[in-house]
Amino acid sequence: MKSRVTAQHVADRAGVSRSAVSRCFGDGQVSDDTRKRIETAAEELGYRPNAIARSLTGRSTGLVALLVAEMDNPHVDIVLKKLLLAIAEADKRALVIPETPRQDVTESTMHALDYQVDAIVVVGGTVSDRVVGQLRALDTPVFQFGRQLAGLGGVACDSHLGGLLGGQFLIRSGRTRIAYVTKTSSTDSNQRRRAGLAAALGAAGLPLLEELSEDNSFEGGYNAATRLFARLERPDALFCFNDMFALGALQAASAFRLRVPEDVAILGFDDIPMAAWPAFALSTLRPNLDAQIARLMAMIAEVCDGAPPRRTVDLVVPELVIRRTAC
Amino acid sequence: MKSRVTAQHVADRAGVSRSAVSRCFGDGQVSDDTRKRIETAAEELGYRPNAIARSLTGRSTGLVALLVAEMDNPHVDIVLKKLLLAIAEADKRALVIPETPRQDVTESTMHALDYQVDAIVVVGGTVSDRVVGQLRALDTPVFQFGRQLAGLGGVACDSHLGGLLGGQFLIRSGRTRIAYVTKTSSTDSNQRRRAGLAAALGAAGLPLLEELSEDNSFEGGYNAATRLFARLERPDALFCFNDMFALGALQAASAFRLRVPEDVAILGFDDIPMAAWPAFALSTLRPNLDAQIARLMAMIAEVCDGAPPRRTVDLVVPELVIRRTAC
DNA sequence: CGTTTTTATGCACGCGCGTGCATAATCCAT
DNA sequence: ATGGATTATGCACGCGCGTGCATAAAAACG
């Protein structure tokens, strides 16, 4: 592998000083003549400024670290994709750090910080609060996506409101035995959704049934719903923590020969692409992802411009998407 | 934002030279006494070596760029996740560059190269050959994942063999009117799968029906299968380019009140997690992803050790997974 | 105890680039 | 034509770190 061409090479070829090359690719003032010569020389040599060396001079690196956990959730996939696109659009680069089972997140993240990233975004609810706390102690701006830890800037879907809206909708459609299908690991958003639902039910004087899923996926939703349907007094509506649970519950309803939504209504959360498939036509709550990401990118742009990082969470209101499984 | 602590700060505090600190965190020889003092000083100051500056001294950056397109395909999600985990396990960092609709991939990729990545991995079949060609012209090692462009190192599932195995299996199970559901954009792997299937059918003296999908997803498979089922002589087996098509086709079969697999067998490709869901129980061909990734990481490790990049594609044989939709 | 060998440490340079400062070149107005 | 204002260019330094080289310290050996 031949060594890369540096600004010095271009300078030599163009017969100017290296500073001129530097200014030409920066925002310095260069005469039209020399600019032309430098550009042709750079073109011929295939020169590209070394971003590593450039960022060494105290400036920003243009890197944004995405600390992403809960990668078994399709919704996180969508978030990740959209974040990647948004970061590329903002002319920055995404350094993605997955939560590995073997290696502790902390260690991976710390390694990422060695790259002087401009900001860290914590994606997904399952990153432990301890890790987030450690991150906050650093001087690198940290933002959270999809959680609402106090004192840490970020964006999130208003889970409480989502729970409330979903609950009110189910009540309006005449349901009286409403169950919440949740997961064992109680993340922040989980608790808020449950609280919102509980508020809606409480206002209507209805009880809140509940069923835990041992697993964070389709199978978990299937099993939890199966247990619910096997109860003596079967619920007539299932509000699921996320769409994957809801799809599993839908499958369980089919196994029980229950008509959806006549016998039982099923409501999800996230509006993953699959929810819109005609095979499922899942009613669900759609977090306005694009709005969330736009705000997050604005926060990142702020800190890149030297502003102190925000310390508040922007809540985005979810939207009720009514399809076939609850109406 | 206070400025980061450098090796000089640690050196001052420990009462040693900066070189000693550098050696302590590198592999240089340091006496037990000074090492201890340096380590405590570093601990107290929260010092971490600056990876940016470190990589400036001609060494590797520890960055691997993932150029990923076709992000609407769940299978690519899985590949991306596994790649991210593998890269983290290898103690490297992943720089993910999505194919943005607005910005040309070339430009994004070039920006990524400014970070002196150790290697580039092209993921997904839809990255244009032109872009890959441009990448090959660089002195940064480029690998391809899931495609088989000649002269460029990488790993891929043996699509031809997959087509052959699938075709032979359908023939053995007594199918005679076998259709291939494919997509309009003819990627490399698509053509190979079709060729493998054609070889199997040709050997058995059977015709190859075909139907194009206008779209690379569930809906596309649904529509294509619908057209096939509406034909006078309905096919008794559908071999789909990927699982998403197959799931759409499955839905179409249900709409036509066709029994699966009695009336029509449906075979997918990729073995995405959803294929295993009891709701679908899709028979499919499983590319051995873990094996592919292990080999790719080995190739990357090679070039990081200074070896010239491989120029051959390691083919991994796919495995026939027989569930309910074809048996 | 003196000499040679080994080990530990500091100094200084360079990686590729941005940028303040001084100087040279150019321009404009009088 | 000439002084001053503006612009263009080069020089040199520093960003944070690794490392060859020289030197100082310690160890080993006779």
Say which residues have a Cβ less than 8 Å from residue A312's Cβ, sequence separation at least 6: A153
B34 touches strand D (CB under 7 A): no
B170 and B255 co-located in one domain? yes
Amino acid at B276: A
How many structural domains are present in chain A?
Answer: 3
Spatial distance between the Cα atoms of A194 and A200, rounded to a whole number of angstroms: 10
Residue B187 is predicted with a pLDDT of 79
Average pLDDT over chain A reads 89
Work out the number of other CB atoms within 10 angstroms of the CB of residue A142: 24
For residue A92, count CB atoms less than 10 angstroms from its CB and return exposed for 0-12, middle for 13-18, buried for 19 or more.
buried
Spatial distance between the Cα atoms of B239 and B298, rounded to a whole number of angstroms: 33
Residue–nucleotide distance: B35 CA to C2 C1' (Å): 32
Task: Give yes or no for a contact between B325 and B283, defined as CB atoms under 8 angstroms apart.
Answer: yes
A121 and A233 co-located in one domain? no
B282 and B206 co-located in one domain? yes
B9 touches strand C (CB under 7 A): no
% chain B with pLDDT above 90? 57
Would you list the DSSP string of A161-216?
Answer: HHHHHHHHHHHHTT--SEEEEEESS--HHHHHHHHHHHHHHHHHT--EEEEEESSS
B24 and B89 co-located in one domain? no
Through-space distance between the first and last CA atoms of chain B, rounded to whole angstroms: 63
- Is B132 domain-assigned? yes
Over 90: is that where the pLDDT of B325 sits? yes
Condensed to tens digits (0 to 9), the pLDDT of residues B14-42 reads 899 999 999 998 887 888 888 999 999 99
Spatial distance between the Cα atoms of B163 and A243, rounded to a whole number of angstroms: 34
**B279 vs B264, higher pLDDT:** B264
Dig out the tokens for A111 from the structure: 């390694």
B23 touches strand D (CB under 7 A): yes
A171 and A139 co-located in one domain? no
Over 60: is that where the pLDDT of B1 sits? no
CB contact under 8 A, A84 and B77: no
Mode of pairing for the β-strands spanning B178-183 and B208-213: parallel
A59-88 residues near strand C (Cβ < 7 Å): 59
A178 and A279 co-located in one domain? yes
Residue B124 is predicted with a pLDDT of 76
- Is A57 domain-assigned? no
B249 and B301 co-located in one domain? no
A25 touches strand C (CB under 7 A): yes
Over 60: is that where the pLDDT of A96 sits? yes
What CATH number is associated with residue A70?
A: 3.40.50.2300
Q: What is the domain range of residue A30?
A: 7-49
Condensed to tens digits (0 to 9), the pLDDT of residues B67-126 reads 988 666 788 889 999 999 999 989 899 999 987 665 555 677 778 888 989 999 999 766
B14-73 residues near strand C (Cβ < 7 Å): 15-20, 23, 28-31, 33-34, 53, 56-58
Residue bearing tokens 């602590």: B5
Condensed to tens digits (0 to 9), the pLDDT of residues B220-237 reads 899 999 999 999 999 999
What CATH number is associated with residue A32?
A: 1.10.260.40
For residue A8, count CB atoms less than 10 angstroms from its CB and return exposed for 0-12, middle for 13-18, buried for 19 or more.
exposed
A153 and A293 co-located in one domain? yes
Using CB atoms, which residue from B48, B98, B103 is nearest to A84? B98
Task: Give yes or no for a contact between B325 and B266, defined as CB atoms under 8 angstroms apart.
Answer: yes
